[in-house]
Structure 1
């Protein structure tokens, strides 16, 4: 079975945001775990539908790069994926919708690391 990873970002008009998803695609592609690692956006191109259609793997892990559940994780993303629940099959691909980041000690450490340079 071939697995793919689809990273979903919100999208932004701010050019400083343009290198974030490509960075994660590059880093996660290096593992060799996935036949494809691709990025798409909620608010710009490529869209979720475009990205899923371009993926030829049997199973697609979908990671919303969002902190918490909300409208996008409950409604927008499942609707765009064409699923009712994680594990549904669409066009011959099993779609596994992963949880957003949520509560994580890794994020706590990341926040602390961003503050560290400013400590006296």
Structure 2
């Protein structure tokens, strides 16, 4: 069975946000047959990205900190599922938990604080 990873970012009009999802796509390419990025508020949208995926199983990772409207309504609706797991368009879809509470994120926050303290 072939697997794909669909990374869902919020999206931004800022040119500084354009390199984040491609970084993660490149990082995960060796772990899945397909790795695709899409956005909630810019193109490509979830529906379009999902149509491009040929894999039978799709793991959808919302790159969001916590559950909210997007993880409970927007993303499942765009995927055509009603819960964190379902079938749509001939694919088995797993909607993963958002980033949430993690010691790894705490470490990143501490790193950012350290960077700011070193800035003249």
1:83 aligns with 2:87: no
TM-score by length of 1: 0.94
Counterpart of 1:14 in structure 2 is 14
When normalised by structure 2's length, the TM-score is: 0.94
Task: Please give the secondary structure, in 2, of the residue aligned with 1:109.
Answer: helix
| Structure 2 Cα separation of the partners of residues 81 and 92 of structure 1 | 12
Aligned residues: 118
Mapped partners of 1:16, 1:113: distance in 2: 20
Alignment partners' CA distance in 2, 1:9 and 1:27: 15
Q: Quote the offset at 1:87 in angstroms.
A: 2.2
Q: How far 1:85 moved relative to its partner? A: 1.6
Q: Which runs of 5+ in 2 are unaligned?
A: none
Equivalent position SS for 2:64:
coil
Q: Displacement, 1:86?
A: 2.2
Which aligned segments of 4 or more residues in structure 1 are displaced greater than 4 angstroms? none
What is the aligned-residue RMSD (CA, Å)?
1.2
Matching of residue 54 in structure 1 with residue 80 in structure 2: no
